[in-house]
Structure formats: structure tokens, C-alpha cells
């Protein structure tokens, strides 16, 4: 589902991934839904999704092309950059990985279904000279693509970093996550007039560093938390960008789609028009 603001900022609101068996148990998917049919059902509710699997493995053009053929014309994907360029960097090989990635996601560009490339960096990726140089080189190699960078370490919460992203027209990902030491803080800073991007991870401080994703992302946003974000999005972010991507990653027990739908409803209640 998308929403159009009166000032022409279009929002794409969805979830991080869509293929979860537990979403059948939660009632989001009808009982008996096969994984191969989940995308079809998902696109009846939302108009965007983050592609999780492209982080785990290099995307292949034929598979991406088949996926594009399954979704409506105005559907958008945000594709995660593969972990070999963010978490498992191999010297003298990462540039080849960028080339392979570009080839893999080409159908998204050709079909006008790419919202952006999400560069999700690990918690240990601190703002050091080596990592700064690597990130700059990576952004250079990916130039020409719509890019959004998600920092997981608070050392990157720096005006110089924001200014450099703004100069490059690269989107700073706003994150909602637990208030824990060294984690990147939630910010409403827009560095790219083309796109702002928010990821809702949940605020489960107890399970965040458990090493278990089912515990880490087990969180159901309270209404007051979503209302606060709705006000921020409406007042601070939509005025500064033409498009917004908002994704819920708290996938456990179907909380992500439920929270996404609630945020959409809150934005609609603020006189934001919806469109298909």
C-alpha cells in the first residue's frame, strides 16, 4: 500500500521480507498458504517489500525477473546488498561482487520496480579510517543506483557523515531499535531529496543481542509509539523528500504486517490520501 501526501511525497510501506510460515499461524496469510503463493497474497495488501534473500545470496537475474512478473506494475522492491560486500568483505574480490550484484538486480531496474539498494552495515562497522575508505569506495562502485545506508554503530551519527551522504544523494536509513549502548540512534534526518527510508526493528532490548532472531525481532509496537513516528514522518520527513520507504522488520508472530497496516491507518487519519 502507498500513501500520497498533499505535497506529493509518496510513501511505500511494507515489511522486511514476506515469506514467513509463522504469518499463517498469526492469521496474516490464509491457512494452507504455500510459500510460493505468499508474494501474490502480500501484493494484495502492500505495494512494497524488502528483499531479504539478496543479503544471504547473490541475486540472479532470471529469478528476479520471474519475481517482477508476479507483482503489480506499481510494486517496488528494496533489495539488500549481499553480505559479501558488507559483512564478509574479501579484499580484491568485492568489486567483482558489485558487478555480479548489478547484473543480478538488472530486471528490477528494467521493470522500474527498484525502490533502492539497502546497504545494511554490521554493528562492528565503526567509523574508522579503514571502514570510511571502504564505504566511500563501495558507494563509488554502486554509483548510479538509488542507495540507502543503514548504520548499526553510533559512531556514524556525525554531521560530517550526514553531509557526505547529502553530497552523494545517498539516503540515511532511520532506524527504530532498542536504546542500547553503541546502537545507532533513531533520527529524522533526510539526506536525499529523492528518498527517505525508515526501518522498524522493534525495541526488544532483552533479546537484541541474544543471537536468536526470533528473540531479537519479537516486538509489537504500541499505538503510542506508532503515533509518535506518524507525526515525525508527516511533519519532518515527508516535506523533505519526494518518496519514502518504510519497512517493519519485527517479523515474529506476524507483528510486522500488523504494525505496518496500523501505521498506514494513522497516516491516513492525518489526511494523507491513499492510492493504488
Question: Quick check: 266 and 217 in contact, CB under 8 A?
Answer: no
Looking up residue 208, the CATH number of its domain turns out to be: 3.20.20.410
Backbone phi, psi, residue 175, to 5°:
-120, 140
Question: What number is the average pLDDT over the span 212-232?
Answer: 90
Per-residue confidence band for 3, with pLDDT thresholds at 50, 70 and 90 = low
pLDDT at 207 over 80: no
Q: What is the pLDDT of residues 223-267, one digit of tens each?
A: 999 999 999 999 999 999 999 999 999 999 899 999 999 999 999
Q: Which residues contact 232 (CB under 8 A, 6 or more apart)?
A: 188
In percent, the amount of the chain with pLDDT more than 90 equals 87
Please give the model's pTM, rounded to 2 decimal places: 0.93
- Full domain range(s) for residue 204: 2-275
pLDDT at 208 over 80: no
- For residues 228 and 246, give the distance between their C-alpha atoms in angstroms, rounded to a whole number: 15
Tell me how many domains the chain contains: 1
Question: What number is the average pLDDT over the span 49-68?
Answer: 97
Q: What is the pLDDT of residues 173-197, one digit of tens each?
A: 999 999 999 999 999 999 999 999 9
- For residues 86 and 58, give the distance between their C-alpha atoms in angstroms, rounded to a whole number: 13
Mean model confidence pLDDT for the chain: 93
Question: Quick check: 264 and 34 in contact, CB under 8 A?
Answer: no
Residue appearing with cell numbers 494452507: 32
HEC string of 16-47?
Answer: ECCCCCHHHHCCCCCCCCCHHHHHHHHCCCCC
- For residues 150 and 249, give the distance between their C-alpha atoms in angstroms, rounded to a whole number: 13
% helix, strand, coil for the chain, step of 5: 40, 20, 40
In percent, the amount of the chain with pLDDT more than 70 equals 94
Amino acid at each position: 500500500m502507498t500513501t500520497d501526501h498533499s505535497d506529493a511525497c509518496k510513501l511505500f510501506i511494507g515489511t522486511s521480507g514476506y515469506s514467513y510460515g509463522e504469518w499463517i499461524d498469526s492469521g496474516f496469510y490464509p491457512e494452507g498458504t504455500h510459500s510460493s503463493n505468499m508474494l501474490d497474497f502480500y501484493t494484495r495488501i502492500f505495494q512494497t517489500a524488502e528483499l531479504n534473500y539478496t543479503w544471504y545470496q547473490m541475486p540472479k537475474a532470471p529469478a528476479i525477473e520471474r519475481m517482477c512478473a508476479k507483482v503489480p506494475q506499481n510494486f517496488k522492491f528494496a533489495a539488500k546488498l549481499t553480505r559479501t560486500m558488507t559483512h564478509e568483505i574479501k579484499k580484491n574480490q568485492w568489486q567483482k561482487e558489485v558487478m555480479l550484484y548489478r547484473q543480478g538486480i538488472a530486471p528490477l531496474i528494467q521493470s522500474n520496480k527498484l525502490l533502492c539498494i539497502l546497504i545494511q552495515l554490521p554493528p562492528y562497522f565503526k567509523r574508522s579510517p579503514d571502514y570510511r575508505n571502504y564505504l566511500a569506495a563501495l558507494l563509488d562502485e554502486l554509483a548510479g543506483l538509488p542507495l540507502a545506508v543503514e548504520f548499526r554503530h553510533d559512531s556514524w551519527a556525525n554531521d560530517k557523515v550526514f553531509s557526505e551522504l547529502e553530497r552523494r544523494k545517498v539516503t540515511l536509513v532511520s532506524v527504530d531499535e532498542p536504546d542500547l549502548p553503541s546502537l545507532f540512534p533513531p533520527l529524522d534526518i533526510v539526506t536525499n531529496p529523492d528518498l527517505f527510508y525508515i526501518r522498524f526493528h522493534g525495541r526488544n532490548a532483552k533479546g537484541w543481542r541474544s543471537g536468536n532472531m526470533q528473540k531479537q525481532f519479537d516486538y509489537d509496537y504500541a499505538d503510542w509509539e506508532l503515533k509518535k513516528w506518524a507525526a515525525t514522518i508527516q511533519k519532518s520527513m515527508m516535506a523533505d523528500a519526494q518518496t519514502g520507504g518504510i519497512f517493519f522488520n519485527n517479523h515474529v508472530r506476524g507483528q510486522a504486517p500488523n504494525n505496518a497496516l496500523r501505521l498506514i491507518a494513522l497516516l491516513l487519519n492525518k489526511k494523507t490520501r491513499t492510492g493504488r
